[in-house]
C-alpha cells in the first residue's frame, strides 16, 4: 500500500474544503509500468538521484513544466534534464572533441551543458529557448526509469528559488506534486556543472 501524508501548511483553506493528500511511494513499492504511464500523462513528481532529490516531469510537456516553474517560483532560468541514454545525447546535441571525455563520465554526478541541435527535443519552457541544454544521467536507478519512459525528464532541485534544496519528506510537503518516490533523507550536494562549450566547471 502507498503511504499518505497530509499537508501541514493548509490552515488557509476553508474548513469545508478537503486537505491535499500527497502520495508517497517507497522504493520497494514501485510499479514501473504504472509510473511510466503517469509520467507520460503529465505527472509532476519528486524523485531521488545520486546527488539530491529532484522535481520533474516529461520535458516535452509544456503545461507540466510550467507547473514546476510555479511550484519553484522560477520564471526564466533554464531547467536541465535527465535523458534516456547516451544515444539520445548524440542524436539531439552537438558533441565536441572536448565534450567526449566528459560524456564518458556518465552515468555520474554531473550536469553536462551541450549545444542543442534539435530544439524540438524539449519544450520551450524547459530551457527557455536557449541553444544549449543541461543534461544528466545519474548513477542511480532513477536512470532506468527514465530509460523506460523514453523521453527526457526535467531535473531541478526541490526548493523555492533562493532557498536551500529540500532533503526530507517533511520539507517536501510544501510542494503540490502528484507523487513522491522516497528513499529516505538525502544530504548530498547538487551535481557538478560542466559547460562543454566554454569548458567552465562549477562544483556546488
Number of domains in the chain: 1
Cβ 178 vs Cβ 42: under 8 Å: no
Q: Specify the DSSP class assigned to residue 119.
A: G
Among the listed residues 96, 148, 93, 155, the one whose alpha carbon sits nearest the alpha carbon of residue 119: 93
Residue 149: all three cell numbers together: 519512459
Among the listed residues 86, 183, 176, the one whose alpha carbon sits nearest the alpha carbon of residue 137: 86
pLDDT in tens, 2-51: 443 333 333 323 333 334 567 999 988 899 999 999 999 999 999 999 99
Give the H or E element holding residue 190. Answer: none
> pLDDT at position 98, please?
87
Which CATH number covers residue 60? 3.90.870.10
% of the chain residues with pLDDT over 90: 80
Compute the Cα dihedral for 111, 116, 119, 125 and give only its sign.
Answer: positive
Q: Residue 203: is its pLDDT beyond 90?
A: no
Q: Domain containing 37: what range?
A: 3-202
> pLDDT at position 188, please?
81
Give me the mean pLDDT over the 89-117 stretch.
Answer: 96
pLDDT in tens, 124-171: 999 999 999 999 999 999 999 999 999 999 999 999 999 999 999 999
Confidence band (pLDDT; 50, 70, 90) for 204?
confident
> pLDDT at position 75, please?
73
Q: Is the pTM of this model over 0.95?
A: no
> pLDDT at position 5, please?
32
pLDDT in tens, 40-80: 999 999 999 999 999 999 999 999 999 999 999 977 899 99
Three-state SS at 158: coil
Residue-averaged pLDDT of the chain? 89
Amino acid at each position: 500500500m502507498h503511504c499518505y501524508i497530509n499537508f501541514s501548511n493548509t490552515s488557509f483553506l476553508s474548513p469545508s474544503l478537503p486537505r491535499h493528500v500527497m502520495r508517497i511511494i517507497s522504493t520497494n513499492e514501485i510499479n514501473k509500468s504504472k509510473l511510466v504511464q503517469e509520467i507520460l500523462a503529465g505527472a509532476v513528481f519528486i524523485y531521488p538521484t545520486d546527488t539530491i532529490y529532484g522535481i520533474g516531469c516529461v520535458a516535452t510537456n509544456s503545461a507540466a513544466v510550467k507547473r514546476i516553474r510555479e511550484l519553484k517560483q522560477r520564471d526564466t532560468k533554464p531547467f536541465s534534464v535527465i535523458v534516456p541514454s547516451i544515444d539520445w545525447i548524440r542524436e539531439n546535441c552537438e558533441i565536441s572533441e572536448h565534450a567526449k571525455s566528459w560524456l564518458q563520465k556518465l552515468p555520474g554526478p554531473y550536469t553536462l551543458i551541450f549545444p542543442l541541435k534539435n530544439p524540438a527535443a524539449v519544450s520551450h519552457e524547459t530551457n527557455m529557448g536557449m541553444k544549449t541544454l543541461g543534461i544528466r544521467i545519474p548513477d542511480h536507478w532513477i536512470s532506468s526509469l527514465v530509460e523506460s519512459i523514453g523521453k527526457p525528464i526535467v531535473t531541478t532541485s526541490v526548493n523555492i528559488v533562493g532557498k536551500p534544496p529540500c532533503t526530507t519528506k517533511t520539507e517536501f510537503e510544501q510542494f503540490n506534486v502528484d507523487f513522491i518516490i522516497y528513499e529516505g533523507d538525502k544530504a548530498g550536494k547538487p551535481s557538478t556543472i560542466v559547460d562543454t562549450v566554454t569548458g567552465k566547471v562549477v562544483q556546488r
